[in-house]
Every structure is written in C-alpha cells, then in structure tokens.
Amino acid sequence: MIYTRNLKKLYKSREVETMALINVNIDIDEGEFVAVAGPAGSGKSSLFNILGLLDTPDSGEVFFMGKECSRLSQNKRISLRRGNIGYMFKDFNLVDELSVYNNIELPLLYMPYSRKDRQKMVSEILYKFKLDHKRNNYPEELTRLQQQTVGLARATVYNPKLILADEPAGSLDSTGGGMIFELISSVNEAGTTVIFFTNSISEAQRASRIIRLFDGHIVTEAIQKEI
Amino acid sequence: MQISNFIKTLFRNILLHRGLSLLTLLGLSLGIAMGLLVLIYVYFESNYDRFIPHSESIYRLNSYGKIGEDTIYSALSPIPLALESKRTEGVRSATRLMPGLSRVIESKHFRSLESNFFYADSNFFEVFDLPFLMGSKEDFRNDANAAIITVSASQRLFGYRNPIGERLKLDNEIDYTIKAVVEDIPVNSHLRFDILGNWAAVERTISQDTLSQQRTMDRNWLYLNSYSYYLLEDGFTNEEVFARLANQAMKKVNIQIEEAFGSEPPGSGSVQLNFGSIAIHDINLYSDVNNELKDGSNPIYIKAFTAIAFFILIVTAINFMNLTTARSSRRFKEVAVRKVFFARRKDIIIQFLTEAIVYSFMALFLALVLVELFLPAFNTLFNINMSTRGFIQRPDLLWLIIITLFTGMMAGSYPALFYSGLNPISIIKGSSKIKKAGILVRGFLVTAQVALSILLISLTLVMYGQLSFLKNADHGFSTKNTIVIERGVSTPQELRDFKKEIIRTGIVQQAGIAHFSPGEDGNIISFRSTDEEERVMLMATNYVDDGFFKAIGATTALGRLYEASDTSDVTKIIINESAARMIQFCPESNHQIELVGGRTDDETYVYNIIGVVHDIYFENMKNPARPMVFIQNHRNQSPGHIIARLSTAYPKEESIKKLNAVWETKFEGSTMQHHTLQKVIDNFYSEEKRFAGIAFMFSLLAYLLSVMSQIGFAAFLLYYHHKNIRLKTIFTAPYKRIMMETFSSFGIFVALSLLVSIPLSIHTSNIWLSGFYKSFNPSWCYFLIPVVLIASTYILITYVAGKREINKTFK
C-alpha cells in the first residue's frame, strides 16, 4: 500500500535546525492496522503529513499505491490522495459553520460525485455510524465522541484505501477512546488499511503492528497479534 | 455543487459573528449605494436629449467670431442660417427656436409674465418629434398663430380646463391660439420652454410694419438671435453636410461683413464670424459656447465623479478585505480542513470570491434601499431632479450586476489569495502565524483611507470657509435691506409710476430702475473707442435710471453718478472700473465710446463718460467683474426691475407687505415678485455650495469608511497579539502599557497618514481656491480639525477594542 525509503525531514527556524525524521523506512501492506507510537517530538506528526501526502520529505522516497510521490507537485499529490486517503485528527477539525451532514459531505464536493450520489453516500455513512438523528446538528451541539465519530464518517464516506488517524482518541476519555477504536477497527475489518499515530502504548496495542518512533528514528517494529 | 456549500458556510458565519458581519455588510452597502448614486448622476448627465427620436442625427449650429480683441462663442446663430441649412444637401429638415424673453401673456383667465416663452418655426416638431398629449404637430405647422403649451404650464395657467382653443395675447402685440399640448420636457434635456408661439406670426407682424428696423432681420447675418437646428438625412455624415453648409453660409456672411465694416478684409480682419455644429447629445457636456438655453455640466466633473465612484468602490472593497481577514483564525481551520480534504488552491479562491460576490449582492439590495432614501438629498445636493419615476425605477440591470460583480471580485480578491495560500499542516498543528507583511499591507491601507478622509474633510471645511468669505465679500452693491422687484405684468410706464409711488409713501429710501439686476446676463454690445487706435470692445450694457446707483449702494471711483437733470442728455454714460481699464480711460481727456454693430441701423451713438463706478459684480467672483457700461434708461428700453432699498423705519417684512399692497392696488390680481440681493449672492455660489455639499457627503463617507477600516485593523492587531496580551494580563502588566504596545504600530500608520494628508490638503485647497478671483486665506484650524477628529477616533477605537479584549482575557 505505502512504503518509504530513507525518509529525512528537517525543520529550520531562524537559528535552530531540528531533524524530525531520520532514515525512516516503513512498509505497510493493504489491509494492515498499524500504530505509529512515540512520545511528543518523536516525529509522528511529520510522518503523518508525509504518509498522508500533505507534505514532502527533504530526502528519501515515498511510494503510495506503487507510485513514487516524494517529488510530486501539490496538485498532483492532491489528485493522488483524492478519494484514496482518509484523515482523522486529535481535535476532530470539523468545520463549526457546517452541519454534521455538510461536514461529512465536504470531501465529496471536491470529487466528481453528483448531488444524488453525495446524498446517498452521506446517508449511508450516517446510518452506519448511527448519526442519522444528528445530521442537522452543528459540531458544537455534539459530544466529543460524536464529533470524532463524524470525523471518522468524513474520513470514510468515500471508501478510501488508506486511513491516517492522528491520535484519534487523544481528546476523548477512555470509554470514548475505546469506542472510537472499535469503530476504526470495524473500518479496517472491511478492508481499509489504517495507520494511527499515538503516544499511548495501551492505544498502540490495539493495532496488529506497532512502529515505535523516537527522536525521528524507528526504534522497534513489532507484530502484536492477528485481529 | 460546491457553491451551495460555500453559501451555507457564509450564512452560518454571518450568524455566528453577527457584529463584524453586520459592520462588513453595512460598509459594503454604503459604499455601493454611494457609488451607485454617483454613477446614476453620471448616467443622467451623459444621457441628455436621448428621449428625442432621431436625437443622434440632430445638430445645432453655433457661432464663433471675433470683434476686435473680443471673441464670440455663442449658441445663438443668425436667423438666415437655418434657412440656408434647409437648402443644403443631406439636411432633411432645419428649424429655429427663438427666445421670446420675458413676455406678458394675457388670456381671459390670467395675465402672467412668462419667462419660458419661445418662438419656433412651424416645422419645429419635424426635427424635435416630441410626444403630443392633445393636438398634433400638423396643428402647429398649419396655423401661423398656433401656440403649443406643455402639460405643467397648462395646469399652472389654466388649471384643469382644456387649454385647446384658448387665445393668448402677447405683450399686446400678437394673438396666439393654443392648438396642442406636449408632454413636459424632461430635466435632462438642453431644451426648455413652457409655451411655443409660431414664428410665422412674428414674421407677418414685422412685414406689416414698414418702419420696423427688424424687418430685415431674416437677411441679417450679423444678428445672432436664434437657436438653429438641423436633422440629417439618412446616409449622410455630419462632417460632409456641415462642411457644405458652412461653405454656403460663410460666403453670405463675408459679403455682409464687407458691407458693414468696409475696410476690414473679410475673414482675416478684426471682425470675423464662423459657425460650428454640435450634436444635441453633446450640448450638456461638451458645449463651448455661451447663451445656452440651460447651464451645462462639465465633462471634467463627470470624469471626476466617475473616478470618485470607482474610488469609493475600491475603498469599500479594501474595507471588506480588512474586515473579513481581521479575525482570520476563525476561517483558518475551515480552509485547512478543506485543503486536507482535497480542495485545490483554485477551489479556495472560488469559495472566497463567491462569498464576496454573495456579500456584494446582499449589500446591493440594502444599497438600493439606501439609494431610494438618499435620492431626495442627492437631488438637492446636485441641484437636479432625478425622480424615481425616471430611470431609477428601471435601472440598467446589467450595470448594477457589473458594478456589484466588480466590487465583489475586488473585495474577495485579497481574502481569496490570503486564505488559499495558507499551509494546512501548520494550521492543523496550530503553529500558523500571520506574517509581519500582513500588518504592513493592512497598515498602509489604513494610512491611505485615513489620509483620504483628512483630505476630504479639510477640503470641505475650506470650501465652506470660502463660501462664507464670498457671501460676505464686497460685490460692489449693498445687500442690506435691498430687494429687486420684478417687472411682472407692468408696462414700462406703470413700473416707473410704481417706483415713484413707493418712494413717495416712504416705504423705500432709494429706488432705481435697471434693465438687468445682479445675477442676470447683460446685453453684450460692441463699442468702439474714439481715440486714435479705434479699438472695438465687447462690453456688458445695462440701462439704468438716476436712482439705480444710490439704491444698489454703488460708489464712484472717478467722476460722478447720474443726476435727475441728466435724463435729457442720453449721450452721458457711466462705466465700471473694469471697463475703464479696458478702454484705458483717462479722466483728463474727453474720452468717448461709440456703439457699433447692427443694433441701430441708421443712427450712431457716441457717448461721453461722466463717471467710473467701483466694480459691481453682476456675476460671481470666480472671475473679475465684467467690463460694463451703464446707459441712461431712455424710453425705448423696457425696464426689467426696480432695485429698492427699504426704509429702516419699518421692519423688513412690514415694508414688503406694504409694497405688496401698493402693487396689488396698481395691478389687480397679480402678486409682486421680488427677491433680495442677498439671495442673488447666494445664487452666485449655488454651484460651489453644491460641490461643498458633495464634498461634505464624500468626506462623511470617507470618514465612516476610515472608522471601519480602523476598527478592522484594531481587531486584526488584537488577534495578532492575543497571546502576548494574555500573557501580559496574567503577569499583571498595566492595561495602558499593554494597549500602547499592542497598538503602537497602529499609531505609526495613523501618524503617517497625518504627515501625508496635511501637505496634500493644503495643496489641494490652494488649487481649488485658485479658481476664484477673490479667495480667503485658510487658517491652520481648517487642517487641524480633521486631524483632531481622526486622532480622537483612533484613541476611542483603541480604547474600546482594548478594553473588550482585556475583559475577554480575564473571562
């Protein structure tokens, strides 16, 4: 599905240079459920952006669906990730001005779906995640768990091949966290590759494979269990 | 598909941030409304006479000439010129309109002095195909004694009676019968008349009077007294037709100049006469001649107003940009999410442009309401009469859409580029920060707007200062207790008797009769100095009696004024200082001037100058007083007015009441028409007052927009520094210090605007004042007041905004 070779990412401020990623090599196959774990500053966000094709590495290669994309222009990367990658964030990042329905519909607006198709797809996902009764509500009217469920619905409404989730339970309590992971697992079971990023070992243990990052390096890689 | 989502987001945004959204919408509406009003005015001025069928093929002939040192630029042309036009190939029809001057018109229902009476050729309506309500153009053409009347004049004179068939007697000379009623001439036409009498009746009367010097009028090429128009045949251009016509006419003119001035070689000497033609569409804006039926506009004003309208729209758009990006954080997340979920840069650009355009169209609806509300004030300000019955009710939709789109695109351009250029990763990580350049761009926009408002406010103050100066300036006549009584329906002898009566009763201290009073154009007549150089000069000529100078309060610079004993000697003449300079008058020599031209066929008048009066400004002080001669009012000249200085024994109102009573006794059924000389001075500067009013309106708008822009900038700075403010508040830094640090850059931009605007204001004011012959010297106050106003606004905005931010931080 996605693999990287010798990824390097360097951040420069006025006087300080920080190596965010150093020689990162990752191989993730289709249908895998992978956790990238590490403490704050370990390079998780940089890896999230590069794997999500939101950013490019300073050196090294990224292959997504067999295509090398580390040197692609922004528009080409958008074309490649459009419909193929779904994103979830710790702070949900829902648009406050849009209703639940419109938030979920948002990615579809930039894809060639007709109004009718969009209605059908959004209704199906609302039904699937039991959000039907909240379709006209605004994010501020939802619980945090409901907000993250909308986030997951938005990430999966177009059936992407890969879902990247940045600390998906980071803003939830343990019960909520557990419930959101169950939903993510169900998406993975349906065949979607899932990579989530976390600083919690217990959360990471929900994945079938854990990649541990520390100071920009991959320190260990371990297969947990078959799900 | 995306558009509805964008609009949903926009409306939700408006609802969530009502205050700022309302401010943004109001600013946009106000700007669009003002821009629209100015553009409507420009449209109004640029579309004169378009209501006349075939107006694009109707031309008027102008006269250009030279007599000695003086030049003639006149809308009037010789009577035979239209007849010559008719004979020219390519002219379908040619006609004349002749001013009837003020005529006393009598019918069995009324006796009235009509200032809008004109004569016209019987084929007038073949060229000007105006809409008839009753009767037809044939009725006017086929009857030499036919008159036509406009609807409003008919209502004024006949009430709701049918005017058709009513007989009118003109100054006891010519009988007319009303044969038709035409619709009123729209305000945006160069034509004006209330009643038109068929010129054929005048020709017939003249031809019967064998002694009249006017009988040769239709052959006199040097007597300019008619407005001549021609309608082109289809397929001919005006260039070719006019060239033929001018060629034919010039041959006849030159023959007559040679006959009249003998020794002067035609075309090259000191007496010349040429013609020009102007499309009637262009008369309002591009006429370069005097004696127009109506004062026209200046194309420079139209260009200036168009520029101002667009400038207003640009400033409005800038304000929109400032306000929509002032608290940009609330849109950052949305833009970042859209970008993560596959929006390309162009999608974000389209979104923000769409939003701005939707905003503009919402503002347009509000603006249209504002236009309706402002229109009466706007009409007063511009001294025009654009009614909602006119084109406002059928606005050019396409134009409205174009203007709104233009404003929307402009307003949305910066937010579109600003937001589409954001990096979604840094926003999502929360590390996004607005660059310092953002402060600079916004700051300079504030500088420009504040500087503009200071410039406009100081210019408005200077305009009002100059108006006040002019109103109190010495115009060569006294305005105190002095009124001008119109001749009205009186005959010359009756007016003279009335004057004697009001002096006898003691209601007035002094009274004099003049052909023209200040505020009116005098006759321009050619005089020849009888010194060895024999120079020909054009001078305004007024016919006055011995009481005129005392009544008007004129004083002598040299010699003396008329006395009662002078009436028998019509050769005595008084001139003003300006005329004295022109003829290089020397009191020691026996200076004489002689009347030249075709006015008096067989007689030659030579005048002896007995006095020079200080200049009396019959026109405003934009130019030096016109050279003027005051000839004693002999019996042949019809007196126009009585200038009366009221007795101080009674209150002014009581004196006027008494004068009215005397008038009504003498002229039963008519009311005395009068106005004060102060009113004349007010009218002199009505145009300047109008522009001062417009400047006031614009300065108010510029000030409001600058206030909005300052509010936007303050909001932006608070957002930019919000982390610092929070920290400083937590560490108990004094409020004053926090605000001074937050708004220090704001203060620099405002100070910069003061530095730029003050010299600019002084310079612009000087340019405006240089358009006056006499002007005042504006003190520092005129430039300091707007500075104080802007500084106070700045302090108030920063204080209120800062206080709110601190309170919010504590919460």
pLDDT in tens, B205-235: 766 654 444 545 667 787 778 899 999 999 8
Lowest mean pLDDT among B198-202, B362-366, B520-524, B765-769: B520-524
pLDDT of residue B562: 82
Q: Among residues 428-457 of chain B, which lie with CB inside 8 Å of chain A?
A: 428-429
Query: Considering only CB atoms, which chain B residues are within 8 Å of A160?
Result: none
Residues B154 and B278 in one domain: yes
ipTM, two decimals, is 0.89
pLDDT at B391: 44
**Do residues B62 and B129 both lie within one domain?**
yes
Cβ A214 vs Cβ A42: under 8 Å: yes
pLDDT score of B337 more than 50: yes
Tokens of B745: 């850059």
Let me know if residue B315 belongs to a domain: no
Position B534 pLDDT exceeds 80? no
Flag whether residue B402 sits within 8 Å of chain A, measured between CB atoms: no
Q: Are residues B534 and B597 in the same domain?
A: yes
pLDDT level of residue B9 (50, 70, 90 thresholds):
confident
Mean pLDDT of the region B513-531? 77
Lowest model confidence (mean pLDDT) among A108-112, B3-7, B714-718: B3-7
CB proximity list for B40: less than 8 A, separation 6 or greater:
B371, B386, B391, B392, B395
Is pLDDT of B120 > 50?
yes
Low-confidence ranges of chain A (pLDDT < 50): 226-227
What pLDDT was estimated at residue B202? 79
Q: How far apart are CA B562 and CA B607, in angstroms?
A: 14
How does the average pLDDT of chain B come out, rounded? 82
Q: Which of B1, B8, B9 is closest, CB to CB, to A115?
A: B1
- Which among B342, B343, B428 has the least Cβ separation from residue A89? B428
Q: Does A94 touch chain B (CB under 8 A)?
A: yes
Residues B107, B227, single domain; the answer is: yes
pLDDT at B308 over 50: yes
Cβ of B424 within 8 Å of Cβ of A82? The answer is no
In a domain, B293, yes or no: no
Flag if B344 and A89 touch (Cβ within 8 Å). Answer: no
**Could you say which DSSP state residue B84 is in?**
H
* Residue B291 maps to a domain: no
**What are the chain B neighbours of A49 within 8 Å (beta carbons)?**
425
pLDDT of residue B254: 84
Dist. CA A38–CA A49, nearest whole Å: 16
Q: Is residue A151 within 8 Å of residue A170, measured between CB atoms?
A: no
B493 & B576 share domain: yes
**Is 70 exceeded by the pLDDT of residue B356?**
yes
Q: How far is A225 from chain B (nearest CA, A)?
A: 32
Query: Within B421-506, where are the H helices?
Result: 424-429, 436-472, 492-504
Chain B residue nearest residue A52, CA to CA: B340
- Examine the pLDDT at B749 and tell me if it is beyond 80: yes
| Cα-Cα-Cα-Cα dihedral sign, residues B22, B24, B26, B28 | negative
Q: pLDDT: is B562 or B428 the higher one?
A: B562
Residue B125: what pLDDT? Answer: 93
Which of B12, B344, B425 is opposite residue A49, by nearest beta carbon? B425
Give the model's pLDDT for residue B389: 47
Which of B179-188, B322-331, B540-549 shows the lowest per-residue confidence on average (mean pLDDT)? Answer: B322-331
B589 and B661 fall within a common domain: yes
What pLDDT does residue A127 have? 94
pLDDT at B314 over 90: no
Domain boundary among B658, B681, B704: B681
Tell me the pLDDT tens digit for each residue of B266-306. 444 566 788 999 999 999 888 888 888 887 777 777 777 77
Query: Taking the CA atoms of chain B, what radius of gyration do you get in angstroms?
Result: 34
> Average pLDDT, stretch B710-737?
80
CB contacts of A112 in chain B (<8 Å) are: none
Residue that terminates a domain, selected from B681, B710, B732? B681
Q: What is the mean pLDDT of residues B581-603?
A: 68
pLDDT computed for residue A188 by the predictor: 92
The answer to which of A81-85, B186-190, B268-272, B674-678 has the lowest mean pLDDT is: B268-272
Same domain, B631 and B726: no
Same domain, B331 and B243: no
Q: How far is B7 from chain A (nearest CA, A)?
A: 11
Which of A97, A110, A118 comes nearest B341 by C-beta? A110
B212 near A CB under 8 A: no
Q: Binning pLDDT at 50, 70 and 90, where does residue B161 land? A: confident
The total number of structural domains in chain B stands at 4
Least confident among A111-115, B201-205, B381-385? B381-385
Give a yes or no: residue B292 inside a domain: no
- Do B138 and B206 belong to one domain? yes
Residue B387: predicted pLDDT: 56
pLDDT recorded at residue B445: 83
Instruction: Tell me what pLDDT residue B739 has.
Output: 83
Whether the model clears a pTM of 0.90, i.e. scores above it, the answer is: no
Residue B749, domain extent: 435-474+682-811
> Residue B222 has what pLDDT?
75
Query: What pLDDT shows up at residue B418?
Result: 82
B318 is a domain residue: no
- Region B653-673: mean pLDDT is 84
Percent of chain B at pLDDT above 70? 87
Q: Are residue B595 and residue B486 in the same domain, yes or no?
A: yes
In 3D space, the residue among A193, A192, A185, A190 whose CA is nearest the CA of residue A168 turns out to be A185
Q: Which residues pair with B525 in a beta bridge?
A: B539
Residue B294 is assigned to a structural domain of this protein: no
Last residue of a domain, one of B681, B711, B743: B681
Lowest-pLDDT range, A27-36, B32-41, B598-607? B598-607
Percent of chain B with pLDDT over 90: 20
Tell me, yes or no, whether B724 and B656 share the same domain: no
Q: Does residue B215 form part of some domain?
A: yes
What pLDDT sits at residue B520?
78
- pLDDT exceeds 60 at position B1: no
Instruction: Tell me whether residue B16 is exposed, middle or buried, using C-beta atoms within 10 angstroms of its C-beta: 0 to 12, 13 to 18, 19 or more.
Output: middle
Q: Are B446 and B750 in contact (CB under 8 A)?
A: yes
Coil, helix or strand at residue B623:
coil
Query: Is residue B319 included in any domain, yes or no?
Result: no
What's the confidence (pLDDT) of residue B591? 73
Does residue B7 sit in the same domain as residue B99? no
pLDDT band at B533 (very low <50, low <70, confident <90, very high): low
- Write out chain A residues lying below 8 Å of B8, CB-based: 97-98, 102
